[in-house]
Amino acid sequence: TAQRIDGKAVATQVTEAVRLAVAERLSAGKRAPAIAFILVGDDPASASYVRGKKRACEQTGVRALSVELPADIAEDALLAVIDRLNADAAVDGILLQLPLPAHLPPQPLLERIDPAKDVDGLHPYNVGRLACRMPLSRPCTPRGVMTLLAAYGIDPTGRKAVVVGASNLVGRPQALELMLARATVTVCHRATLDLADEVARADILVVAAGEPNLIKGAWIKPGATVIDVGINRLADGSLCGDVEFEAASQRAAFITPVPGGVGPMTIASLMQNILEAAERRDPA
């Protein structure tokens, strides 16, 4: 049965490394990295994500600023908030918490963030840097997946990697990360004709679809590494991923649980991104 990949433990190690680097900055007379969280409206899930990210800031010594805005804010007003934070020399990173209310299309807002302060790595400039093998700010969840693979000694070089899900947030940048790590990459999505057949070829499988039990245990190639990014809340309130965990564990060599797998890594990657953004802006 598969070895469980402990995302909580790896995330703690990453966060601790960031804490030490922030402390070193302070003893060298530099300021703490600072991140501004923009939260629009009162979506409870978004508020809880921002709370989790702020807790990580407290643990690492990153300074967290909060900009809380009403759900009915006009696009112009939100653009002006982003412009002000872009111009603020004391702010190293800007995070616009998604999803936004329906009247605010996210893309023009994400593109307004100074790419140097885009700690989510979602600005097309940063996605483009990753696509042409010169990553700067890397999207947090796919970066977290790569950190997990490295922590368990799983080298993607020459392996067949299959990504299920092609979103801007996870699937697409995940495929770029795996290509950068020299895997042979296939990306599956809703229009994929034979998902079972694609999944069965994967030495490394990363699933980010958002559908419970989409991936059957019987599809998993024996000895594969299974990374389940999905987070689904069931009717009884419990969380599960996109992979049939028990059945997949019988075939895989490594597997991430949900919760406790990829989830904690996303915030850990954000802490790395904010530290690196501050270091790039203020290297000396």
Active centre residues (catalytic): 53, 97, 120
End-to-end CA distance of the chain: 49
Candidate residues 40, 64, 166, 224; the one interacting with ligand NAD per rule CB under 6 A = 166
**Among all chains, which residue has been given the structure tokens 């696509």?**
131
Instruction: Confirm or reject binding of residue 262 to ligand NAD (CB under 6 A).
Output: yes
Residues 14-73 that bind ligand NAD (CB under 6 A): none
Interface segment toward ligand NAD; rule CB under 6 A; list 31-39, 127-135, 161-169, 215-223: 161-169
**Of 93 and 173, CB closest to ligand NAD:** 173
**Of 32 and 93, CB closest to ligand NAD:** 93
- Spatial neighbors of 27 by CB under 8 A, at least 6 apart, are none
**Of 91 and 248, CB closest to ligand NAD:** 248
- Token reading at 225: 């590494």
Candidate residues 93, 156, 230, 257; the one interacting with ligand NAD per rule CB under 6 A = 230
Instruction: Confirm or reject binding of residue 167 to ligand NAD (CB under 6 A).
Output: yes
CB of 153 vs ligand NAD, minimal distance in Å: 22
Candidate residues 18, 82, 94, 188; the one interacting with ligand NAD per rule CB under 6 A = 188
Interface segment toward ligand NAD; rule CB under 6 A; list 9-17, 52-60, 123-131, 184-192: 184-192
Interface segment toward ligand NAD; rule CB under 6 A; list 88-96, 129-137, 152-160, 230-238: 230-238
Is the previous residue joined to 259 through a cis bond, with omega within 30 degrees of 0? yes
Residues in the chain: 284
39 vs 35: CA distance, rounded Å: 13
Number of residues lying near ligand NAD (CB under 6 A) = 25
CB of 29 vs ligand NAD, minimal distance in Å: 35
Candidate residues 11, 50, 94, 164; the one interacting with ligand NAD per rule CB under 6 A = 164
Spatial contact of 154 and 196, defined as CB atoms under 8 Å apart: no
Please, which contacts does 110-118 make with residues 24 or more away whose CB atoms are closer than 8 Å?
A: 112/79, 112/82, 112/83, 112/86, 113/82, 113/86, 114/86, 116/277, 116/280, 116/281, 117/85, 117/86, 117/91, 117/92, 117/93, 117/277, 118/93, 118/94
Spatial contact of 233 and 266, defined as CB atoms under 8 Å apart: no
Instruction: Confirm or reject binding of residue 142 to ligand NAD (CB under 6 A).
Output: no
Pairing outcome for strands 239-240 and 232-233: antiparallel
- Token reading at 251: 């075939």
Residues 190-229 that bind ligand NAD (CB under 6 A): 190, 192, 195, 208-211, 214, 229
In the complex, which residues of this chain contact ligand NAD (CB under 6 A)?
A: 141, 164-167, 169-171, 188-190, 192, 195, 208-211, 214, 229-232, 262-263, 266
